[in-house]
Structure 1
């Protein structure tokens, strides 16, 4: 995942791609790292999805602009609109199923 640190880069990424995953994590969050690895493994089967990571602890104002109040948070944007928001308790099988469904519809 590519790291992003400012709002304009995030918005440009979201608006210039059909599907974008924005993953908010924290460096002191053990669950964030474990889930990130698993999400990255899922996303490698969907190469047309752009994915970025934001350190929500370091970029508190940016996290607040996206209404992020806990970490990790997985956001899926389709054509610039938030379509899926999953918080700390991520069911990876369900997440992959939803990503596949949207991906198959769009590509």
Structure 2
């Protein structure tokens, strides 16, 4: 998963994609490091969904702009509109269900 290094780059990414995932983490977060490979594996089922990782320590503005107060956080957007959010505890099964539903809806529109 590619990384984003500025709030401007993140805003552009979220606003421009039909369906996108933002994975917010911190370097010292063991839960983040355990969850990231699971999310990446899940995304292999959805190659049309763009995903980016954001280091909350590197981009502290993410807390205010995206209301991310804890990590890990998984945010799903479509053209700048937030569709789904999970933070701290992110069940992969629930994330998969949401991705399947949203992917179907977005691609059918």
SS at match of 1:90: coil
Distance 1:37 1:19 in 2: 20
Q: What is the alpha-carbon distance in structure 2 between the residues aligned to residue 80 and residue 44 of structure 1?
A: 23
8 Å CA contact 1:4–1:52 kept in 2: the answer is: yes
Q: 1:21 aligns to what?
A: 21
- What is the CA distance between 1:64 and its match in structure 2? 2.8
Q: CA RMSD in A?
A: 1.1
The answer (yes or no) to whether the contact 1:23–1:73 under 8 Å persists in 2 is yes
Residues 1-107 of structure 1: matches in 2 within 5 Å?
1-107=1-107
Structure 2: any 5+ residue segments left out of the alignment?
A: none
After TM superposition, give the deviation of residue 106 of structure 1 in Å: 1.8
Deviation (angstroms), 1:58: 2.4
Q: Is the 8 A contact 1:25 1:32 kept in 2?
A: yes
TM-score when scaled to structure 1?
0.93
In structure 1, list runs of 5 or more residues that go unmatched: none
Instruction: Provide the rounded CA distance (Å) in 1 between the counterparts of 2:58 and 2:79.
Output: 27
Retained in 2: the 8 A contact 1:6–1:62? no
